Structure 1
Amino acid sequence: MDFSEESLETIAANAPITALRRLNPKLDDQMPKPYLARALVAVDPASKYGSRDHQHNNMTVLQQHVSFFDRNKDGIIYPWETYQGFRAIGFGVFISILAAFLINVNLSYVTSSGWIPSPLFPIYIANIHKAKHGSDSEVYDTEGRFDPAKFDSIFSKYALTYTDKLTYSELQSMLKGNRNMNDLFGWLAAHGEWSFLYKLAKNKEGFIEKEALRGMYDGSLFEYFEKQNASRKAR
């Protein structure tokens, strides 16, 4: 099927924002079917088979992201496991306690299969897709799959200094650009999540690199930092 150049245009002259936040028109030449959301692996042109040495265990990419914090691998994440996971990747006691409280309190009931909330605030990994909030990057679809085109658009739209890195100000621009109207919870959740990520993953120059961000989505970044942290403690 043939398409005219106009039908493939991603910039509209009367909408300057489309020129400011560009899309990558060559993505389909760089990897197969970038429009197809992947259930098991987080892929991009540089990592077409997902993260090396990372096991998907037949879980969606979103499930893999959170399963790092399931320390005993029973499919349920309790607040003390969230705390242990944050400590394992290098966060301090206060931040880890705060994260455990906020994450489990907000995600427990929505991932439950019943009507009665648990006082232990468990998060059920099987239902983690129900916890997806608004004003996010939409890299996870509503079933927890990884959308390569949405991931690429983070960088094509907002990485203005380098094509494969985000500065702190570019990260803030992305958060503002993703906001949905009247979605205070989504704004706060997105800001908290990306603040934790920036503190964890920024390099010495203050950038978040594309590969680090991709690893965040499938949880392999957490595995990396857990090994790094354990190695430092063993010295």
Structure 2
Amino acid sequence: MTGAQQSRWVAAAMRVTALLFLWVFSWGHVMAEIDSANMTALQKHVSFFDRNMDGIITPSETIEGVIAIGCDVAFAKDFAAKVHAGLGPKTSPVDVPLPHLSIYIENIYRGMHGSDTGALDAKGRFVPSKFEEIFSKHAKTRLDALTFFEVKEMILANRDLDDPQSWDAPINEWGLIYYLASDKNGYLSKDSVRGIVGVPKKDICIWVNTDGVVVKFRCMVGPTRI
């Protein structure tokens, strides 16, 4: 990947949900009820950012989590602001005080978008066959990894022509994943984007995009491991 291409992907990742938002913190939330034993794949993955494990992800917790996976503070604040602007209102119960900025893990499925790989179903449950299709359909240079151009091809192939509003999210998400997890040769390996819960590994911290793809990092700070 050229420097210009990487810069464009990083810029896309910085937008994340393409929502303009003035940074504010949520000062209060109601207690969430979450059944940890029966969490969906998506719930388990986003719980990496739930630093106090109360079922609610505040903007400050997202900042801490993003820093934990190796990003700088400025990026973490920008990322958290935009993610919470998009997902906070969608996942917050109706009786939560304004502003609706905290993300409620119980309702995270409400934040799912179209034009994705289908690796998660509408409720956030892992679909192994769809995850395998990411590589069986698009990994052409190496069967166990994606190049920059193969990731781009996959994103374009998954676009729902009837839902253009969903086109930006995969670009932002996969752009960030590629930037963080591709190796020095430009390959995004299957092992590095191994999805979801059904293949437990010890001492691996998890971070997930809303398409359900997990990127593995060295454990730093945080309670959630697989």
1:212–1:221 contact (8 Å) kept in structure 2: no
Answer 1 or 2: higher relative contact order, Cα 8 Å, separation at least 6: 2
The residue aligned with 1:95 is 75
1:207–1:221 Cα change, 3 Å: farther
| 1:191 correspondence with 2:178 | no
| 1:225 correspondence with 2:217 | yes
| 1:104 correspondence with 2:96 | no
Letter in 2 for 1:209: S
The residue aligned with 1:147 is 127
1:184–1:209 Cα change, 3 Å: same
Instruction: Give the structure with the higher percent helix.
Output: 1
* Post-superposition CA distance 1:82-123 (Å, at most 9, x none): 111000000112221111011111011111221777325010
What is the Cα-based RMSD across aligned positions, in Å? Answer: 2.2
1:78–1:120 contact (8 Å) kept in structure 2: no
Of residues 63, 72, 81 in structure 2, which corresponds to 1:83? 63
Letter in 1 for 2:82: L
1:104–1:166 Cα change, 3 Å: same
Letter in 2 for 1:180: D
- TM (normalized to structure 2)? 0.70
- TM (normalized to structure 1)? 0.68
* Secondary structure in 1 matching 2:174: helix
1:83–1:100 contact (8 Å) kept in structure 2: yes
Q: Distance in 1 between matches of 2:74 and 2:158?
A: 29
Q: CA deviation at 1:59?
A: 1.4
* Post-superposition CA distance 1:167-193 (Å, at most 9, x none): 011000000011111433311111111
Q: CA deviation at 1:166?
A: 0.4
The residue aligned with 2:26 is none
Radius of gyration: which is bigger? Answer: 1
* Secondary structure in 2 matching 1:99: helix
Q: Percent identity?
A: 43
Q: Distance in 1 between matches of 2:184 and 2:89?
A: 38
- Unpaired stretches in structure 2, ≥5 consecutive residues: 1-35, 198-203, 208-214, 222-226
1:88–1:226 contact (8 Å) kept in structure 2: no
1:212–1:118 Cα change, 3 Å: farther
Aligned residue pairs total: 173
1:115–1:58 Cα change, 3 Å: closer
Instruction: Give the structure with the higher percent strand.
Output: 2
1:200–1:57 Cα change, 3 Å: farther
Q: CA deviation at 1:57?
A: 4.2
Letter in 1 for 2:99: P
**1:2-41 paired onto structure 2 within 5 Å:** none
Q: Distance in 2 between matches of 1:120 and 1:113?
A: 9
